[in-house]
A and B are shown apart, each in its own frame.
Chain A
Amino acid sequence: NAGVMQNPRHLVRRRGQEARLRCSPMKGHSHVYWYRQLPEEGLKFMVYLQKENIIDESGMPKERFSAEFPKEGPSILRIQQVVRGDSAAYFCASSPDSLPAAFFGQGTRLTVV
């Protein structure tokens, strides 16, 4: 089992561009969670998805951020018109059921220049 796979590992975007972060859950896992870790801060919950459904997006910024988990393929976290404050590490976690998951990916480190 390859574990939770996130790509890219590092992403550099200019202000105003779009960032797409991908997460492939562990085999057999149908629940995905996204967290953001700002510099020198703890992880903050963003969104919880099951296949084709957003279950809890209470941690997502109201604008520019969206997430999806299609029937086929990885989960995508999309950030439109990035700003410097979006620079952070974005972590994905997955679980086989509705537990909050102990299986985290290695993260995507987004740098906005």
Chain B
Amino acid sequence: KQEVTQIPAALSVPEGENLVLNCSFTDSAIYNLQWFRQDPGKGLTSLLLIQSSQREQTSGRLNASLDKSSGRSTLYIAASQPGDSATYLCAVRPPGAQKLVFGQGTRLTINP
């Protein structure tokens, strides 16, 4: 059974710092991995999707990496801003399944 873990559960950093969020999964057989952002009381916004054959994806100040063999992904946020404050969720898609398996998220706070 695939399980996804995100560490840390919460993170608070001053504005302008670069930071890394971690995601680990127990079964390396995945179809893809996705990072989402969730704002309080809101839905999910997809940030980056990495196919199993890829090693990383970049969008603006965000960079996500994938190491399937070790069951890990990281989300790197450069030059953090207060508007980046949100909960970040990692999700994997098992092969042959249409569902996503989510981690519990990292609650990120960027202090001005």
Contact = CB atoms under 8 A, between A and B. Distances in A.
Question: Contact residue range for chain B?
Answer: 20 to 34
B44 interface: yes
A41 B98 contact: no
A48 B98 contact: yes
Given A44-B102, A56-B98, 16 more contacts: A33-B99, A35-B100, A41-B104, A43-B89, A43-B91, A43-B102, A48-B98, A55-B98, A91-B44, A100-B99, A100-B100, A102-B46, A103-B46, A106-B43, A107-B42, A107-B43
Interface of B: 4, 34, 36, 41-46, 49, 89, 91, 93, 97-105
Contact of A102 (B4, B34, B42, B99): B34
Contacts of A25: none
Nearest to B103: A42
A98 B98 contact: yes
Given A102-B34, A106-B42, A42 B98 contact: no
Interface of A: 4, 31, 33, 35, 40-45, 48, 55-56, 58-59, 91, 93, 98-100, 102-107, 109
A100 B43 contact: no
